[in-house]
Amino acid sequence: MRGRIQYILILLLLMPALCQATIVAFYTDGVIQDGDVYDYVSVYNNAKVDMTGGTVTTQLKAYDSSTVNISGGVLHNTSTSYESASMLNLSGNMQSDAVYIWGLGTLNMFGGIVGSAEIHNIANLYGGIISDYLLVTSPVNISSTVNIYGYGFQYNPLAGDYRGGQLTGFWLNDTPFSIDLYAVYNPPYGATIDTWSHVVLIPEPATLLLLGLGVLMQRKLK
């Protein structure tokens, strides 16, 4: 009885904080800008939401076939829904602790800073910083892939802090990058996570041209 009374008292104390939580749902196009502060943001249908500033303290989540363009502001984490084909486009000086891509969601990253990125479908990386780790898995019936566009790629399987090695190189705008890859071998339940096996390196056009010329030269020498 005493425990139930304590539990009820705790709920009563938390009620003001819960009531003050700001929850916003976009069913049509919208904007999140400087000065906006939300706890939870959800985007539905075919809506397009542009976040140019502001703060999302807990989570921004995209559902259905929505598109979220984040070029500024600070977020705790962003994600797509398990059953959606939504798209997250990251650029500019945006910051997010974590990004999760579920279901048929797609991430396109051109800039910004992300702590960890967990991909369970498709991601295209053109720029930005992944400061903690990149994790890629393939759920049932989904072939997860991370396409990385740049040049000067170097993969060191012994580097990094997450057992999956470290990938370094340059983005197409000549900015250097370093990404730690996540790997777990023989964890509980027999699962295995090997991010590197899901990474596709796509060189810049100039690099592809040089590679092509090299092949032609070799053929001529033969």
Identify which of 179, 170, 180 has the alpha carbon closest to the alpha carbon of residue 203. Answer: 170
68-94 pLDDT, tens digit per residue, is 999 999 999 999 998 899 999 999 999
109-135 pLDDT, tens digit per residue, is 999 999 999 999 999 999 999 999 999
pLDDT for the residue numbered 94: 98
pLDDT for the residue numbered 29: 98
Torsion, Cα of 61, 115, 69, 104 (10° steps): -50
Given a contact cutoff of 8 angstroms between Cβ atoms, the answer to whether 45 and 64 are in contact is: yes
Does the pLDDT at position 188 exceed 50?
A: yes
Average pLDDT for the chain: 86
SS3 call for 2 = helix
pLDDT for the residue numbered 137: 87
Residue 51 burial (C-beta neighbours within 10 Å; 0-12, 13-18, 19+): buried
Does the pLDDT at position 8 exceed 60?
A: no
CA distances for 73 relative to 54, 55, 99, angstroms: 5, 6, 14
Long-range CB contacts (within 8 A, 24+) of 167-170? 167/196, 167/199, 169/201
- Token pair belonging to 14: 């938390």
